[in-house]
């Protein structure tokens, strides 16, 4: 039986491992930390349960298809509820717009802001629905290892209709003029990895996912997905070992044959790296075996990192919904400070998740669980003084918006930023999301999922195809598993 070693137990690693175990491979996951999930880990403190990373459950069909592949359903592992409103947006002057989950109500909301925008929303979603159908069900499943994958006339036609060569910024302005609506429609782009000006219009598929397929929440928190995936992986025979910090991938005659950790050695017929691509390539391999040099990595456009705060509050906080986007400052300035001249933002946009609004189990009775996030440039100086400065900036604006004091009710506080991403995940430049989804970093132009010099070493996760985000990472694992099965079949 062929032995597969998977480095990392994030969504992509769990997906690859489970799929290969189902097909008869002997699969072991080596996890650096003491629990599974990668950035989607969880911690508990003072009666609060905090998801450490992802908080948006979009593209429910991807999860349904994943579990369905193994004869299971998401509800076998966790209970989903659809959020209504999907989220709340706070604009200048603390004007609040709550986005209803019902499409007709959303159309009416748009029409009240800009005449004619209801019909334009429906037209936009018709196009975005096609992009979702083709992008998520065809395009993202390509391993992107050869141009020949994209040479069929039908696929070429699809690529043209996907608007790969037009920016989202230009595309969205064909439908809407009002700045409020533009902010509402552009937010998934900024918070999921890039800016509208350099993101292909293909990514309007994210708006389709958000609006038509809905914003959901797994009761108990996002880590419930991880727990479900771990349970399924073990059912299929996957072995997961924790606290295994990988130090080296040994290569003999163009093949990885052994993975060495701080405490053990694991023989392998195939190695799949679900850990940070840059770290694996530049630290775990000899220099002559690396796919890319440091110059290549330094030239990549990274998606934002994040400054996070996990707060336990000993009272309920009014006005907040489950998801809250604070766009009360200059969107353009914030994007400029992330992508053009990377620096700590002067007036940051930020996001607050308050899962205790939906789920009483994540906070003690009468308390509130808050997750605050500022998207910031990767590679910035990160220290306690900077974190505290931004904590107070956010709390000033939050208290002003809610109309109550909050800081004096904080009974638990933890921050997390660049140096933590680097320490916990070996994240390149302390990145949180991977590579930005720019045209020059799409499909074949992303880092390859296969090492060019080591025949049995593969990469999966947010720094390779198809890209950042939970559903794409999950898909990435399945794509790599398919490549392994083709190139290293069991018999």
Query: 307 near 343, Cβ under 8 Å?
Result: no
Backbone angles phi, psi at 6, to 5 degrees: -110, 125
294 and 440 belong to one structural domain: yes
Give the span between the Cα atoms of 271 and 259, in whole angstroms: 8
Query: 163 near 131, Cβ under 8 Å?
Result: yes
Q: Where are the alpha helices (DSSP H) in 236-365?
A: 277-279, 294-298, 331-339
59 and 127 belong to one structural domain: no
The residue among 2, 19, 3, 1 whose CA lies nearest residue 483 is 19
Cα–Cα separations (whole angstroms), residue 254 to 288, 347, 453 = 11, 51, 6
Q: Which domain holds residue 16?
A: 3-71+220-300+435-487
Give the span between the Cα atoms of 441 and 109, in whole angstroms: 35
Give the span between the Cα atoms of 402 and 399, in whole angstroms: 5
Residues with Cβ within 8 Å of residue 350, at least 6 apart in sequence: 326, 372, 373, 374, 394, 397
Task: Examine residue 331 and state whether it is found in any structural domain, yes or no.
Answer: no
The residue out of 160, 184, 210 marking a domain boundary is 210
- Beta bridge partner(s), residue 310: 371, 414
Task: Examine residue 410 and state whether it is found in any structural domain, yes or no.
Answer: no
Q: Is the dihedral of CA 59, 64, 65, 70 positive or negative?
A: positive
125 and 159 belong to one structural domain: yes
The residue out of 178, 210, 242 marking a domain boundary is 210
Give the span between the Cα atoms of 196 and 189, in whole angstroms: 6
Number of structural domains (the chain) is: 2
What is the residue-wise DSSP string for 298-322? HTS-BPPEEEEEEEEESS--TT--S
Torsion of CA 258, 260, 264, 267, to 10 degrees: -10
> Which pLDDT does position 156 carry in this prediction?
55
Residues with Cβ within 8 Å of residue 223, at least 6 apart in sequence: 37, 40, 41, 42, 51
pLDDT per residue of the chain (491 residues) written in tens, 0 to 9 = 999 999 999 999 999 999 999 999 999 999 999 999 999 999 999 999 999 999 999 999 999 999 999 999 999 999 999 999 999 999 999 999 999 999 999 999 999 999 999 999 999 999 999 999 998 888 898 998 877 776 664 655 566 677 877 999 999 999 999 999 999 999 877 655 677 888 888 889 999 999 999 999 999 999 999 999 999 999 999 999 999 999 999 999 999 999 999 999 999 999 999 999 999 999 999 999 999 999 999 999 999 999 999 999 999 999 999 999 999 998 778 887 887 789 999 999 999 999 999 999 999 999 999 999 999 999 999 999 999 999 999 999 999 999 999 999 999 999 999 999 999 999 999 999 999 888 888 888 999 999 999 999 999 999 999 999 999 999 999 999 999 999 999 97
244 and 197 belong to one structural domain: no
Give the span between the Cα atoms of 188 and 197, in whole angstroms: 13
Neighbour count for residue 425 (Cβ, 10 Å): 22
Cα–Cα separations (whole angstroms), residue 133 to 4, 69, 295, 393, 424 = 32, 19, 36, 41, 36
197 and 229 belong to one structural domain: no
The residue out of 151, 175, 210 marking a domain boundary is 210
> Which pLDDT does position 302 carry in this prediction?
92
266 and 203 belong to one structural domain: no
1 token code pair? 């039986």
Task: Examine residue 139 and state whether it is found in any structural domain, yes or no.
Answer: yes
Give kind and range of the element (H or E) at residue 45. Answer: strand 42-45
- Beta bridge partner(s), residue 308: 373, 416
127 and 204 belong to one structural domain: yes
Q: CA angle, corner 97, sides to 96 and 102, nearest 5?
A: 150
Give kind and range of the element (H or E) at residue 233. Answer: helix 223-235
265 token code pair? 């050695």
Task: Examine residue 416 and state whether it is found in any structural domain, yes or no.
Answer: no
The residue among 341, 325, 429, 420 whose CA lies nearest residue 379 is 429
Cα–Cα separations (whole angstroms), residue 278 to 107, 189, 379, 391 = 44, 24, 14, 30
Q: How far is CA 476 from its chain centroid?
A: 12
Give the span between the Cα atoms of 251 and 273, in whole angstroms: 14
Give the span between the Cα atoms of 95 and 93, in whole angstroms: 5
Give the span between the Cα atoms of 478 and 472, in whole angstroms: 10
pTM over 0.85: yes
187 and 241 belong to one structural domain: no
462 and 480 belong to one structural domain: yes
Task: Examine residue 11 and state whether it is found in any structural domain, yes or no.
Answer: yes
Task: Examine residue 57 and state whether it is found in any structural domain, yes or no.
Answer: yes
Strand segments (E) across 427-489: 457-459
Which strand ranges, in their side-by-side order, compose the sheet holding 96-99? 96-99, 87-90, 323-326, 350-353, 368-376, 305-313, 410-416
> Which pLDDT does position 307 carry in this prediction?
98
């Amino acid at each position: 039986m062929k032995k597969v070693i998977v480095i990392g137990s994030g969504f992509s690693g769990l997906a690859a491992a489970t799929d290969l175990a189902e097909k008869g491979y002997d699969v072991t996951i080596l996890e650096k930390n003491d629990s599974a999930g990668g950035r989607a880990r969880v911690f508990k403190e003072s009666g609060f349960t905090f998801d450490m990373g992802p908080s948006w459950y979009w593209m429910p069909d991807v999860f349904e298809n994943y579990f369905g592949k193994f004869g299971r359903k998401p509800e076998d592992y966790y209970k989903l509820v659809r959020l209504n409103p999907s989220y709340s947006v706070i604009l200048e002057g603390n004007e609040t717009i709550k986005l209803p989950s019902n499409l007709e109500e959303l159309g009416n909301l748009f029409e009240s802001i800009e005449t004619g925008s209801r019909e334009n929303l429906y037209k936009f979603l018709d196009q975005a629905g096609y992009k979702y159908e083709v992008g998520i069900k065809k395009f993202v499943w390509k391993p992107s290892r050869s141009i020949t994958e994209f040479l069929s006339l039908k696929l070429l036609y699809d690529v043209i209709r996907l608007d790969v060569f037009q920016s989202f910024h230009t595309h969205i302005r064909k439908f809407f003029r009002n700045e409020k609506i533009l902010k509402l429609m552009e937010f998934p782009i900024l918070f999921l990895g890039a800016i509208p000006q350099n993101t292909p219009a293909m990514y309007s598929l994210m708006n389709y996912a958000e609006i038509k397929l809905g914003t959901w929440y797994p009761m108990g928190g996002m880590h419930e997905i991880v727990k479900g995936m771990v349970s399924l992986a073990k059912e299929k025979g996957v072995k997961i070992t924790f606290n295994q910090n990988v130090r080296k991938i040994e290569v003999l005659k163009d093949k990885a044959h052994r993975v060495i950790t701080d405490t053990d050695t694991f023989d392998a017929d195939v190695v799949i790296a679900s850990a940070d691509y840059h770290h694996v390539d530049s630290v775990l391999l000899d220099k002559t075996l690396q796919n890319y040099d440091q110059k290549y990595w330094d030239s990549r456009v990274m998606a934002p990192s994040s400054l996070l705060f996990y707060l336990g509050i000993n009272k309920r906080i009014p006005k907040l919904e489950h998801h809250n986007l604070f766009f009360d400052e200059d969107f353009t300035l914030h994007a400029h400070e992330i992508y053009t001249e990377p620096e700590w933002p002067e007036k940051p946009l930020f996001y607050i998740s308050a899962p205790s609004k939906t789920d009483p189990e994540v906070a003690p009775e009468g308390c509130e669980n808050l997750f605050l996030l500022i998207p910031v440039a990767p590679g910035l100086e990160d220290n306690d003084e900077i974190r505290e400065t931004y904590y107070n900036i956010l709390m000033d604006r939050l208290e002003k918006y809610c109309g109550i004091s909050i800081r004096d009710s904080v009974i638990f506080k933890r921050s997390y930023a660049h140096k933590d991403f680097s320490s916990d995940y070996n994240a390149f430049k302390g990145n949180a999301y991977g590579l930005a989804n720019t045209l020059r970093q799409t499909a074949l132009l992303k880092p390859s999922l296969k090492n060019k010099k080591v025949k049995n070493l593969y990469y999966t996760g947010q720094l390779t195809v198809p890209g950042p985000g939970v559903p794409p990472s999950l898909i990435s694992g399945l794509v790599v598993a398919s490549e392994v099965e083709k190139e290293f079949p069991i018999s």
